[in-house]
Structure 1
Amino acid sequence: MQLIRTSLPLESVILKGQLPFKHELLLLDDLNPEHLYQQYLAVMDKMQLYTSSTIDGLTECLPYNILLTNRWMLIIPRTTNEVGTVKGHGVNFIGRFLVSSHEQLQWLTNYGFMHFLTDCGVVNC
């Protein structure tokens, strides 16, 4: 889990439903933990992110990222967390990226930030 305080460069794209990969956006009235958890479970089921296998009695999930603000929750199924030599993480989906070298930054800039996110996600059907 990562907790950050930052601006969200992709927030307008997220709120307009313009992400080019599969996702589920829930607009929130409040941050009631029980209500959030029920919404989370419903989305996980709707997106078929649960698998039929279990580990120590707990149901496994397919890879995904979840972003939570005080206004919305976004769940994004993932196919990978690495494209080229750049590793991805949930914060990428708000438009923030961390790279470990100038070469990675140059590659990511040329490749395209949204292209990277789309390759990490599941293509919309």
Structure 2
Amino acid sequence: MEHSSLQPGTLWPAILHQTEHALRCGALRPIETIQTVLEERGIRFLVRQVSSLVRKEEARQARKVEAGACSTVNPFLPYDPDLFVADLSDTHVALLNKFNVIDHHLLIITRCFKPQEALLEFADFVALTACMAEFDGLGFYNGGAESGASQRHKHLQIVPLPLGASGPPLPIESVLRPEDMQGPIGTVPRLPFLHAFARLELPPAASLQAAHAAFDCYHALLEATGLRAIEMNGELHQSAPYNLLVTRRWMLLVPRYSECVEGISVNALGYAGSLFVRDAAQMQVIKRLGPMTVLQRVAIPATVGQQDISA
């Protein structure tokens, strides 16, 4: 079955319209936060205290119990039509994030089920770059549960920029210097964990050229960090969990070791400089450890070689 593709200039109005509708009917349940800025290593980390994350977790566990202990609920098949924003392509749709912390947070999901541990495909970047051509945003991907993914169904995400009221559009950008790189792929000296960073110049309009540029950059970062493809059931999967951050100007990939530090879950937004905590106790953990130490503990040590991470 063929589906219409995203028409230029239509996504942002559709987001605003559907947000109003979803709030009115109760399908969208924004999570209120208290924001704190913690500065470390030249980065003004945004830490949001989210007491109602408990509510989100309880709701998810309740759905699992209702569905039975041996089944897994997939909120994307079928998806809630009240959260539907746009058809992006034959393979992807855009939905509002039901429990959003950041306003106008979009999920870019595959129409058919694909596992979150599968490698990103060209079609994924066609959908992502189509969204990025519509507004300046941060695209990101949590490659598996250990990188902070809460759903098994493959989905990328995008949030509008800036993330905070002051400073660079993304806190992490204060230490990123893509213009100073000697080659297309490199590392960021102030990031004390295994990662790969790349310049990226996406054209202003959605195109296959933009998707190809992002897709090629993604594979270069996988290779630079030692991640490789593993075939499982006829599909290519990742050899280790990772987070991917994508803007119009750069791309960052961070292999992951674990999801949590002292109960605090970290996803790709953490490596953009935006962390989330459930309560005051978790906020104190981040203050005690420091945001960069939190990120370091769930990542791979910078001294680990490519062969080690792919083993």
- Give the TM-score, by structure 2 length: 0.38
Instruction: Deviation per CA, 1:32-91: give whole Å up to 9, x if none.
Output: 11121012112212322125x432212221100000011100011111111111011000
1:72 to 2:232 alignment: no
Which residue is equivalent to 1:60?
237
Q: How does 1:72-91 map to 2 (within 5 A)?
A: 72-91=250-269
Which residue is equivalent to 2:159?
4
CA distance in 1, matches of 2:260, 2:231: 25
Larger relative contact order, structure 1 or 2 (CA cutoff 8 Å, min sep 6): 1
Which of structure 1's runs of 4+ aligned residues deviate more than 3 A? Answer: none
Asked if 1 retains the 8 angstrom alpha-carbon contact of 2:196 and 2:221, the reply is: yes
Q: 1:39 to 1:55 in 2, by over 3 A?
A: same
Number of matched pairs: 124
Which residue is equivalent to 2:215?
37
Unpaired segments ≥5 residues, structure 1? none
Tell me the SS of whatever aligns to 1:2.
strand
Q: How does 1:40-51 map to 2 (within 5 A)?
A: 40-50=218-228
Q: CA RMSD in A?
A: 1.6
CA distance in 2, matches of 1:89, 1:23: 15
Who wins on radius of gyration, i.e. which is larger?
Answer: 2
Q: What is the Cα deviation at residue 12 of structure 1? A: 1.8
CA distance in 2, matches of 1:89, 1:95: 11
Return the letter of the residue paired with 2:234. G
Unpaired segments ≥5 residues, structure 2? 1-155, 164-168, 179-187, 204-209, 304-311
Tell me the SS of whatever aligns to 2:245.
strand
Identity %: 27
Asked if 1 retains the 8 angstrom alpha-carbon contact of 2:241 and 2:256, the reply is: yes
Q: What is the Cα deviation at residue 101 of structure 1? A: 0.7
Asked if 2 retains the 8 angstrom alpha-carbon contact of 1:54 and 1:60, the reply is: yes
Asked if 1 retains the 8 angstrom alpha-carbon contact of 2:245 and 2:268, the reply is: yes
Q: What is the Cα deviation at residue 112 of structure 1? A: 0.9
Asked if 2 retains the 8 angstrom alpha-carbon contact of 1:50 and 1:59, the reply is: no
Which residue is equivalent to 1:120?
298
CA distance in 1, matches of 2:223, 2:233: 20
Q: What is the Cα deviation at residue 15 of structure 1? A: 3.0
Return the letter of the residue paired with 2:287. T
